[in-house]
Amino acid sequence: MNKLICNYKDRFFSAPYSLLSTPYLNIMKVILQAKISDPHLDGSAASSQRQIEISIAAEQGEDQVNAAPLNLCLVLDHSGSMSGRPMETVKQAATELVDKLTPNDRISVIAFDHKAKVIVPNQEVTNISSIKELIRQLQPAGGTSIDEGMKLGLLESAIGKKDKISQLFLLTDGENEHGDNQRCLKIAQLAPESNITINTLGFGAHWNQDILEQIADSAGGTLCYIEKPEQAVAEFAKLFTRIQSVGLTNAHLLLELIPEIHLAELKPIAQVAPETIELTHTLEQSNTLIRLGDLMIGTSKQILINLYINKLAPGKQRAGMVYVRYDDPATGRTGLLSEKIPLELDVQSVYVAQPDPQVQKSILTLAKYRQTQIAETKLQQGDRVGAATMLKTAAKTALQLGDEKAADVLQSNATRLQAGDELSPEDRKKTRLVSKTRLEP
């Protein structure tokens, strides 16, 4: 093999069902692929550093039409600052989502200001007109307590989660003035334990990008930005399309490594697609366990792992194995295991480099994110020169990736700082978004 590309469809270990039994002929599958930044090692080196890129996605069976039904909860800010066009466009976006649901799906709607209340209790989508009318009755009033909305949203979502894909949309336009941001983060960390994904939508210019990003990252979702009211319908629809592609849930990546190989000490694991997220890990027996959350059909999650390798004997060496544990809500089965994928190295007496271009792209993607994070930290510390320098570096990295829209945003903001101008709230939010993902045209 010129490069390490191992690609297997999953099989099941100790599954209580026969693969030949009729209900499971067309089950959802896991597609798992692993690449090493350079599978060749210098046999004379005392230690080496390598990155592994692991791509994971769900794939439908040949005759499978749909994944499991959705259990969707909308948690909507209706505080006083949402009055006028913002509230009307959010209600329009929410009612149009209801039209996209099927009778097999479930819906609940929570509204919050400085308190939270259930607008639509968790129910099957059998009476669309009454659900939409309840949403249309929402009126703006009061302050903002995001954590109260989140708490009630998780409670309602839990009612209908059995054999469903549970997704929560949290929308707000402001700071959590009547709530507790740390409580928001604790609630977000509880969501994955209940197999509920939280997606966040920031509306306008004054929401807290740090908190909404951390909520989405902790709860396995994505962060969306509705800059103007007229974008609300499109952003809701785009996010709905994403959750419709979820095929498998509660996925965890397991990494087995030989004793001579260990994770880097500082931030060793990150997701680099479809958005960039720093990931945490735990140990399960001797294996590294990384929570992936939902697996989508047609869109891979790409995980980058930074490893240090002690000196190995010359020749072909197995560095370890990777596999995935996951749930299939369409069949109600949990704790399924994919095929184990070997990670193989070629330790050479005469080293010939063989860098993998795809892994190099993932390394640059993570670098763009981290460079932007450093720039934001420097800006918060009052170091405008340092912030501008790091934004210019991130812009160059974006150009190396062919991400011209991100490069334009990052370079433009660097130029503003160098000219002595302040970055607007909108500038900062776009900077955060382009650091995590690609902007759509």
List the chain domain ranges: 6-65+247-355, 70-244, 358-436
Residue 83, pLDDT > 70, answer yes
pLDDT bracket for residue 61 (50, 70, 90):
confident
Residue 4, pLDDT > 70, answer no
- Kindly report, residue by residue over 263-286, the tens digit of the pLDDT: 999 999 999 999 999 999 999 999
- Kindly report, residue by residue over 385-426, the tens digit of the pLDDT: 999 999 999 999 999 999 999 999 999 999 999 999 999 999
Mean pLDDT of the region 241-258: 97
Any alpha helices (H) in 65-202, and if so which ranges?
A: 85-100, 128-136, 146-159, 181-190
Q: Give me the pLDDT at residue 64, please.
A: 62
Mean pLDDT of the region 144-163: 97
pLDDT bracket for residue 65 (50, 70, 90):
low
- Kindly report, residue by residue over 119-141, the tens digit of the pLDDT: 999 999 999 999 999 999 999 99
- Measure the CA–CA gap between 189 and 179, rounded to whole angstroms: 17
Q: Which of 61-70, 135-144, 318-327, 397-406 has the lowest mean pLDDT?
A: 61-70
CATH topology agreement for domains 6-65+247-355 and 70-244: no
Is there a contact between 224 and 202 (Cβ–Cβ < 8 Å)? yes
Q: Give me the pLDDT at residue 2, please.
A: 35
CATH topology assigned to domain 6-65+247-355: Immunoglobulin-like (2.60.40)
Residue 8, pLDDT > 90, answer no
Residue 14, pLDDT > 90, answer no
Count of all residues that appear for the chain in the document = 441
Helices 404-418 + 384-400 axis angle, to 10: 160
Q: Give me the pLDDT at residue 438, please.
A: 77
Nearest Cα to Cα of residue 39 among 26, 53, 25, 27: 53
Tokens of 144: 């903002």
- Measure the CA–CA gap between 73 and 239, rounded to whole angstroms: 13
Is there a contact between 340 and 81 (Cβ–Cβ < 8 Å)? no
142 three-state secondary structure: coil
The neighbour count for residue 363, using CB atoms within 10 Å, is: 18
- Mean pLDDT, the chain, whole residue set: 92
Query: Which CATH number among 3.40.50.150, 3.40.50.620, 3.40.50.410, 3.40.50.880 corresponds to the domain 70-244?
Result: 3.40.50.410
Q: Give me the pLDDT at residue 27, please.
A: 81
Q: Give me the pLDDT at residue 109, please.
A: 98
Phi, psi of 48 (to 5 degrees): -140, 160
b/e string for 372-385 if b means 16 or more Cβ within 10 A? bbbbbebbeeeebe
Q: Give me the pLDDT at residue 55, please.
A: 98
- Measure the CA–CA gap between 186 and 74, rounded to whole angstroms: 19
